[in-house]
Amino acid sequence: MKIYTDINDIKIDGYVALTIGTFDGVHNGHKEILKVLLNDAKSNNGESFVVTFFPHPRKVISKNFPIKLLTTREEKIELFRNTGIDNLLIINFTEDFAKLGYDEFVKEYLVDAIKVNKVIIGFDHKFGKDRSGNESKLRELGKQNGFDVEVVDEQTVRSASVSSSIIRDALCNGKIETANELLGSTYKLHGKVVEGAKRGRTLGFPTANIELNNDDKLIPQAGVYFTGIYLGNEKFYGIMNIGYRPTFDDELGIVIEVHILDFNRDIYFEKISVELLYRMRDEKKFSSKEDLIAQITEDKNTAIEKLKLIVN
């Protein structure tokens, strides 16, 4: 996959099928658009092209309403690469770019720079200054500039609409299985292992504290989760706690830590990725260390039972 950040570097001969969007999460709705895009490019012996934005437009346009991301820039690039897309343009979304009219955007980027033949969009796609561009206006521009337009219908899972905002809401409410179903993949957190208070070790359940790679990444609702854990090319399973350690009255802010099943290795400062598979319970405050150990033991047994279902 070729990645562009400057339209002046784009040089493509032949047929180009293109789609535009923020694509946060690269969820099932996005994947259907990408599927149509790839099929169209292949059937016309052409190339597929995705145009996306960084940072997320809402971070620039709606500064008073901060948004947390389902996928960071790096995660989104990897997901696009895995779909088989030929070309990716990442536009630096600035306040000046936000002022660009929808017709100016189409002419400068899609027609002059990319020389698009077909634009494929989702059913509710809006673009340009004040999101004033839409399907009908895009079709008008297509007639003027010689490209076709195809619209992909709304995608649903179990009658639920698939959208980035709905997935964010699901994660913020601890509905990890719903979020994963709408994403069409497991929600993941990426970071590195850092030193913590080491209380887990004294309780008999050592944990790895995780510092996320990106502060803009959405952290799901506090609680205890059954997870898959990746260290390099190795995969393990374990229990993740997201929360504030109320039993110890910590003032460290939110903490993300994992206990890896059947694992005894020093992994400080190693890269780690965690996929959230199942939410086991809310975070609780315990009256004694013994009560906490009993609950962690129960959590571990629950995780082992979940793992048996995966292995078998």
How far apart are alpha carbons 178 and 175 in whole angstroms? 5
Say whether domain 186-311 belongs to CATH 2.40.30.30.
yes
Sign, CA dihedral 188-191-196-200, equals positive
Instruction: Give the model's confidence band at 28: pLDDT under 50 very low, under 70 low, under 90 confident, else very high.
Output: very high
How far apart are alpha carbons 161 and 28 in whole angstroms? 10
3-state secondary structure 50-90: EEEEECCHHHHHCCCCCCCECCCHHHHHHHHHHHCCCEEEE
Whether the predicted pLDDT of 249 surpasses 70: no
How far apart are alpha carbons 178 and 157 in whole angstroms? 9
Whether the predicted pLDDT of 29 surpasses 70: yes
Residues facing 104 on adjacent strands: none
Residue type, 23: F
Whether the predicted pLDDT of 245 surpasses 70: no
3-state secondary structure 244-269: CCHHHCCCCCCEEEEEECCCCCCCCC
Is residue 305 within 8 Å of residue 262, measured between CB atoms?
A: no
% of residues, the chain, pLDDT over 70: 95
What architecture (CATH level 2) is domain 2-161? 3-Layer(aba) Sandwich (3.40)
**Residue boundaries of the structural domains of the chain:** 2-161, 186-311
Summarised one tens digit per residue, pLDDT across range 122-176 is 998 998 888 888 999 999 999 999 999 999 999 998 888 899 999 999 999 999 9
Residue of 84 and 246 predicted with greater confidence: 84
Does 186-311 match 2-161 at the fold level? no
From the list 305, 257, 254, the residue with the least C-alpha distance to 278 is 305
Instruction: Give the model's confidence band at 33: pLDDT under 50 very low, under 70 low, under 90 confident, else very high.
Output: very high
Whether the predicted pLDDT of 197 surpasses 70: no
How far apart are alpha carbons 98 and 227 in whole angstroms? 39
How far apart are alpha carbons 297 and 249 in whole angstroms? 21
**pLDDT at residue number 202:** 58
Is residue 267 within 8 Å of residue 231, measured between CB atoms?
A: yes
What rounded mean pLDDT belongs to the chain?
A: 92
Q: Is 238 exposed, middle or buried (0-12, 13-18, 19+ CB in 10 A)?
A: buried
Q: Please give the C-alpha separations between residue 56 and each of 25, 52, 60, 66, 192, in angstroms, as whole numbers.
A: 12, 9, 7, 10, 24
